[in-house]
């Protein structure tokens, strides 16, 4: 007989406010995830908690629901409006995402619980009036929250009750170590602290000693990724040029369906792949660390809204390992020629919604990066798949990932071989080679310049400047024409003659009916007879008139 104590706790059994429960019903969360079930009661009791759970397990709701409940409890007797909770996250996108979750959960009590996002997506002067109203919850990056504490627009010494640090394993690696140490001096001596992380790295343990007091550690006994019944891993051996050919064939023949994230390892490859696919009229958007925050948020929004079904994302190792030292003694951030935004991490934190496929065009550089990339799909109870293109140099990395994922599992092999015959799409290769070579380094540079110019035109901060200096705007608009890649209209279609017979039905392309010309000429004669019969002018005969002329000639 089953022990009733072992039954999972439902949301309505957690003593949550009815307004929160109504919002949960509207979000269609039927049952709490494992991390929500275990952590929410502990947080409601006021305990410090270290949450360790895999990507996509519902960590955001696990710490936002108790915060909202606590604020609603305080509001029953509160006299003054004060900031009760601060949520710190390493990236602007993640701050925006957390605010969206809070807004969804407080849709029935938006007057009682107010949340403000102070991530660096807007000017600090614009945020100051928002903080003077003392919202209940403040969400932001450590650097921006510290700026407001120093300026005096945010005071937490007497009011703060809950501090949450999301994606805690990235806080130090994104360069916030000094900010976090300084920020703690502005906090009260007693407060509840929550750390949420996908891994228990050394950085997390350092943060734990910095902000937690005798915490409860929730390290759930679950795999780092969704089970193989929910998430399928494929691999396909291919060299660089073959990767481009296969990707073109898979997307153009609709062999990959649903929302797809294509991961590469560098920013330049991100744009190269975008320009390559656009030649075949395959619409994609890009996401990388060098884009301004507004563009990054807009790209994620367009992808989540279904405007684009494909997003090409660069996932540079430099972002997650800023402490790595090169042979010359410089950090990877210092040795980089371009300035990367430390507050952006593509494979981490961002909630890409309803992703069906993750495609590794470049295989990730370590096991942890693969886990975080694969965690973008098969979230919640949804199905998903990961397809990785592997060249000979990347085979070693694949073996390391498989060894890690197989630990503790009964499966002989995690990665399935993707059934794809390269020789069947050999005719595609010539098109793909031409298109790939057309995307030169100059074309990539010009494409990026074009994007920067467009951002300048759309920038609200420069709008006033251009109104006062219209000549500068005209000069910028009539600057030299940028030449990226010539779009050839005929590449948008897939000719029937290059399709292999086995893929025609899958691609949804049927053979066009051709006119049947009878070699014996019987059908053509019948057509002439039918035409003559229907047209009286063609059916007229002049034999009698010709005979009279012959008789006159004889006489």
Can you tell me the distance from the alpha carbon of 371 to that of 197, in angstroms, rounded to the nearest whole number?
13
175 and 266 part of one domain: no
179 and 265 part of one domain: no
> Residue 445 domain-assigned?
no
Q: Of 391, 479, 431, 449, whose CA–CA distance to 271 is shortest? A: 449
**Full-prediction pTM beyond 0.75?**
no
H/E/C letters for each residue in 91-150? Answer: CHHHHHHHHHHHHHHCCCCCCCCCEEECCCCCCHHHHHHHHHCCCCEEEECHHHHHHHHH
What pLDDT sits at residue 334? Answer: 40
132 and 28 part of one domain: yes
Which residues does 508 contact at the CB level (< 8 Å), separation at least 6? 254
240 and 367 part of one domain: yes
Q: Where among 219, 247, 271 does a domain terminate? A: 219
What pLDDT sits at residue 505? Answer: 62
> Residue 454 domain-assigned?
no
> Residue 86 domain-assigned?
yes
What pLDDT sits at residue 453? Answer: 77
Mean predicted confidence (pLDDT) in 299-320: 79
Poorest-confidence range of 63-77, 197-211, 323-337, 518-532?
A: 323-337
Q: Of 500, 505, 497, whose CA–CA distance to 249 is shortest? A: 500
Distances (CA, A) of 338 to 171, 266, 289, 299, 343: 22, 12, 10, 21, 15
* CA R_g for the chain: 32
Question: In degrees to the nearest 10, what's the CA dihedral of 447, 451, 454, 456?
Answer: -130
Q: Of 343, 335, 381, 378, whose CA–CA distance to 357 is shortest? A: 378
Mean predicted confidence (pLDDT) in 125-135: 92
Can you tell me the distance from the alpha carbon of 264 to that of 378, in angstroms, rounded to the nearest whole number?
20
Q: What is the chain's mean pLDDT, rounded?
A: 81
Can you tell me the distance from the alpha carbon of 345 to that of 361, in angstroms, rounded to the nearest whole number?
18
Strand partners for 232: 385
Q: Where among 171, 197, 219 does a domain terminate? A: 219
User: pLDDT band for position 130 (50/70/90)?
Assistant: very high
User: pLDDT band for position 348 (50/70/90)?
Assistant: low
Longest dimension (CA), the chain: 138
> Residue 546 domain-assigned?
no
User: pLDDT band for position 408 (50/70/90)?
Assistant: low
Task: Check pLDDT > 80 for residue 180.
Answer: yes
Can you tell me the distance from the alpha carbon of 468 to that of 450, in angstroms, rounded to the nearest whole number?
24
CATH number at residue 58: 3.40.50.300
Q: What is the pLDDT of residues 259-290, one digit of tens each?
A: 999 999 999 999 999 999 999 999 999 988 78
> Residue 383 domain-assigned?
yes
Q: pLDDT: is 350 or 60 the higher one?
A: 60
213 and 251 part of one domain: no
What pLDDT sits at residue 131? Answer: 95
Q: Domains in the chain: how many in total?
A: 2
Mean predicted confidence (pLDDT) in 406-430: 81
169 and 77 part of one domain: yes
Instruction: Decide: helix, strand or coil at residue 204.
Output: helix
> Residue 473 domain-assigned?
no
For the record, the structure tokens of 173 come out as 């690696």
Residue ranges making up the domain that contains 287 = 231-320+341-439+485-507
Q: Of 297, 247, 250, whose CA–CA distance to 274 is shortest? A: 247
129 and 252 part of one domain: no
Mean predicted confidence (pLDDT) in 320-333: 39
């Amino acid at each position: 007989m089953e022990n009733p104590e072992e039954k999972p706790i439902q949301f309505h059994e957690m003593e949550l406010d009815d307004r929160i429960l109504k919002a949960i019903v509207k979000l269609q969360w039927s049952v709490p995830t494992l991390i929500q079930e275990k952590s929410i009661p502990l947080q409601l009791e006021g305990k410090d908690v270290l949450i360790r759970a895999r990507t996509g397990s519902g960590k955001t709701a696990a710490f936002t629901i108790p915060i909202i409940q606590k604020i609603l409890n305080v509001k029953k007797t509160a006299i003054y409006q004060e900031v009760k909770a601060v949520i710190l996250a390493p990236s602007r996108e993640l701050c925006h995402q957390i605010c969206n979750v809070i807004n969804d959960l407080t849709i029935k009590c938006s007057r009682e619980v107010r949340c403000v996002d102070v991530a660096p997506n807007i000017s600090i002067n614009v945020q100051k009036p928002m903080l003077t109203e003392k919202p209940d919850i403040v969400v932001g990056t450590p650097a921006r929250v510290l700026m407001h504490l120093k300026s005096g627009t945010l005071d937490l010494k007497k009011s703060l009750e809950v501090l949450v640090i999301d994606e805690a394993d990235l806080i130090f690696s994104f360069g916030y170590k000094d900010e976090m140490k300084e920020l703690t001096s502005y906090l009260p001596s007693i407060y509840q602290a929550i750390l949420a992380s996908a891994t228990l790295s050394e950085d997390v343990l350092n943060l734990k000693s910095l902000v937690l007091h005798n915490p409860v550690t929730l390290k759930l006994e679950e795999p780092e990724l969704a089970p193989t019944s929910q998430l399928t891993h494929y691999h396909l051996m291919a060299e660089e040029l073959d990767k481009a050919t296969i990707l073109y064939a898979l997307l153009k023949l609709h062999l990959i369906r649903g929302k797809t994230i294509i991961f590469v390892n560098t920013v330049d490859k991100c744009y190269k792949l975008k320009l390559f696919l656009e030649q075949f009229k395959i619409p994609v958007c890009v996401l990388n660390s060098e884009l301004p925050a507004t563009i990054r948020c807009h790209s994620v929004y367009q992808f989540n809204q279904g405007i684009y079904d494909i997003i090409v994302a660069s996932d540079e190792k430099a972002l997650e390992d800023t402490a790595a030292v090169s042979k010359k003694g410089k950090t990877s951030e210092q040795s980089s020629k371009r300035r990367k935004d430390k507050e952006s991490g593509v494979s981490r934190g961002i909630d890409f919604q309803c992703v069906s496929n993750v495609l590794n065009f470049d295989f990730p550089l370590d096991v942890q990066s693969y886990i975080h990339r694969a965690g973008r799909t098969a979230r919640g109870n949804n199905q998903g798949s990961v397809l990785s293109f592997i060249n000979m140099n990347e085979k070693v990395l694949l073996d390391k990932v498989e060894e890690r994922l197989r630990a503790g599992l009964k499966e002989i092999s995690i990665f399935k071989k993707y059934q794809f015959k390269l020789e069947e799409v050999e005719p595609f290769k010539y098109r793909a080679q031409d298109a790939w070579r057309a995307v030169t380094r100059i074309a990539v540079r010009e494409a990026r310049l074009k994007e920067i110019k467009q951002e300048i035109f759309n920038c609200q901060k420069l709008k006033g400047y251009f109104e006062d200096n219209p000549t500068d705007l005209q000069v910028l608009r009539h600057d030299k024409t940028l030449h990226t890649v010539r779009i050839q209209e005929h590449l948008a279609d897939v000719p029937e003659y290059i399709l292999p017979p086995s893929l025609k039905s899958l691609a949804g392309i049927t053979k066009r009916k051709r006119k049947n010309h009878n070699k014996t000429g019987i059908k053509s004669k019948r057509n002439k007879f039918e035409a003559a019969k229907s047209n009286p002018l063609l059916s007229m005969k002049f034999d009698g008139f010709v005979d009279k002329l012959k008789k006159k000639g004889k006489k």
